[in-house]
Amino acid sequence: GENVEQHPSTLSVQEGDSAVIKCTYSDSASNYFPWYKQELGKGPQLIIDIRSNVGEKKDQRIAVTLNKTAKHFSLHITETQPEDSAVYFCAARGKGAGGSYIPTFGRGTSLIVHP
């Protein structure tokens, strides 16, 4: 099955700095790579995603890049703000044993933005 590795587990930055979180995946058939943000007491919320036929996608201060050959993808947050502090999860969506396309998640990165 799919295996997703995510680094770092904790990331501490100053407000205004950039933050980068990296993930690798193992199944070359995976075709969709979402990123989720989870705040305390809430479920994960999708913040950006990228499909396997695209190399880069940007949405305001957030961008995601995908290198299919190397099987890695990254989340970039620029001009970080204290409200960006949360746990971020990457995922790779591949085919489960039952035929459904399901995501496999990384372990998460706790991002702390200091004012």
Partner 1 sequence: ETGVTQTPRHLVMGMTNKKSLKCEQHLGHNAMYWYKQSAKKPLELMFVYNFKEQTENNSVPSRFSPECPNSSHLFLHLHTLQPEDSALYLCASSQDPLAGTDGSYEQYFGPGTRLTVT
- The yes or no reply on residue 98 touching partner 1 (CB under 8 A) is yes
Provide the token pair at 40: 């305390």
Task: Tell me the C-alpha to C-alpha distance, in Å, between residue 10 and each of 31, 34, 42, 68, 74.
Answer: 27, 19, 19, 25, 15
* In contact, 15 and 30? CB cutoff 8 Å: no
**34 lines the binding site for partner 1 (CB under 8 A):** yes
Indicate which single residue of 44, 65, 84, 85 sits in contact with partner 1 (rule: CB under 8 A): 44
- Kindly tell me which residue out of 13, 49, 74, 112 binds partner 1, with binding defined by CB under 8 A: 49
Regarding 42 and contact with partner 1 (CB under 8 A), the answer is yes
How many chain residues bind partner 1 (CB under 8 A)? 30
Residue 42 makes CB contacts below 8 A (sequence gap 6+) with: none
Residue numbers at the binding site for partner 1 (CB under 8 A): 4, 31-32, 34, 36, 41-46, 49, 51-53, 89, 93, 96-108
